[in-house]
């Protein structure tokens, strides 16, 4: 799977935080990284709130997200190189600096980079990826890969489990061929193929929602 880095410019205002959290959830879903959605959203909230509080409302900023190795990297860029994030103990009564303490608690690592024209506050979250272009080895995915391997061998089709665009395309064609054969099987047994597809989609969406809620 290709996980191309993305970025979105925003204005440091409280109303923007919810929108950025939604964008993060959407992209992590597309990347198959739903299990770290809550942690990633928390980091976005606190890092953006830090800009609002310590740099100022209305500051032009940018959220940049990428996969570095097997970690999710979240960056918030702002133009103030003087207002550095403050890390305080969560047990203190002061609210100042508690946002970065939360980031410190959930992220594997975090830091600040100073550029001539901007400050970059970043953090990295561990994922269950085994490779940058791989996938999370959930039981459902592993069962599907095992079935596809058997199907490809029986049909003399390339399974395409390696890395790269061609391998991904071959795997997708194998999936399409397998689904088509299952539709033929349903028809041969007098079952409603459309109804089965609808039920499968509903189950898939329910399982994805449960995974996000339980992450």
189 or 214: which carries more pLDDT confidence? 189
Order of strands, sheet of 6-11, starting from the edge strand that comes earlier in the sequence: 6-11, 60-68, 71-78, 119-126, 109-114
Can you give the length of the chain in residues? 215
Centre a 10 Å sphere on the Cβ of residue 78 and count the other Cβ atoms it contains: 23
Tell me the pLDDT tens digit for each residue of 141-153: 767 777 877 777 7
Quote the pLDDT of residue 159. 55
User: For residue 4, which of 165, 157, 114, 152 has the smallest C-alpha distance?
Assistant: 165
User: For residue 124, which of 84, 65, 79, 81 has the smallest C-alpha distance?
Assistant: 65
Q: What is the pTM of this model?
A: 0.68
- Name the region of 137 (left: φ>0; alpha: ψ -120 to 50; beta: rest): beta
CA 192 from centroid of its chain's CA atoms: 35
Please state, in angstroms and rounded to a whole number, the distance separating the CA atoms of residues 174 and 170: 6
Pick from 48-52, 62-66, 91-95: least confident: 91-95
Say which residues have a Cβ less than 8 Å from residue 131's Cβ, sequence separation at least 6.
Answer: 70, 163
Tell me the pLDDT tens digit for each residue of 116-144: 999 999 999 999 888 777 766 667 776 77
- The answer to whether the CB of 38 falls within 8 A of the CB of 78 is no
Please state, in angstroms and rounded to a whole number, the distance separating the CA atoms of residues 98 and 90: 6
Report the pLDDT averaged over residues 68-85: 93
Please state, in angstroms and rounded to a whole number, the distance separating the CA atoms of residues 121 and 111: 6
Please state, in angstroms and rounded to a whole number, the distance separating the CA atoms of residues 174 and 148: 7
Tell me the pLDDT tens digit for each residue of 160-194: 545 445 456 777 788 888 888 888 888 888 889 89
- The answer to whether the CB of 99 falls within 8 A of the CB of 72 is no
Give percent above pLDDT 90 in the chain: 48
Report the pLDDT averaged over residues 21-38: 92
């Amino acid at each position: 799977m290709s996980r191309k880095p993305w970025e979105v410019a925003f204005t440091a205002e409280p109303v923007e935080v919810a929108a950025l959290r939604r964008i993060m959830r959407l992209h992590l879903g597309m990347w198959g990284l739903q299990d770290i959605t809550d942690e990633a959203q928390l980091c976005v909230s606190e890092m953006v709130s830090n800009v609002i509080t310590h740099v100022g409302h209305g500051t032009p900023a940018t959220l940049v997200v990428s996969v570095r190795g097997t970690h999710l990297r979240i960056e918030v860029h702002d133009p103030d190189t003087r207002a550095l994030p403050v890390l305080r103990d969560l047990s203190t009564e002061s609210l100042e600096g508690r946002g970065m303490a939360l980031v410190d608690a959930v992220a594997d690592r975090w830091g600040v980079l100073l550029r001539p024209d901007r400050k970059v506050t970043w953090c990295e979250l561990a994922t269950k990826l085994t490779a940058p272009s791989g996938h999370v080895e959930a039981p459902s995915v592993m069962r599907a890969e095992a079935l596809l391997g058997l199907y490809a061998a029986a049909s003399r089709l390339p399974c395409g489990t390696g890395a790269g665009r061609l391998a991904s395309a071959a795997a997708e064609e194998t999936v399409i061929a397998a689904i088509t054969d299952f539709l033929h099987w349903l028809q041969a047994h007098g079952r409603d193929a459309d109804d089965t597809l609808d039920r499968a989609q509903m189950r898939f969406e329910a399982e994805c929602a449960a995974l996000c809620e339980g992450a």
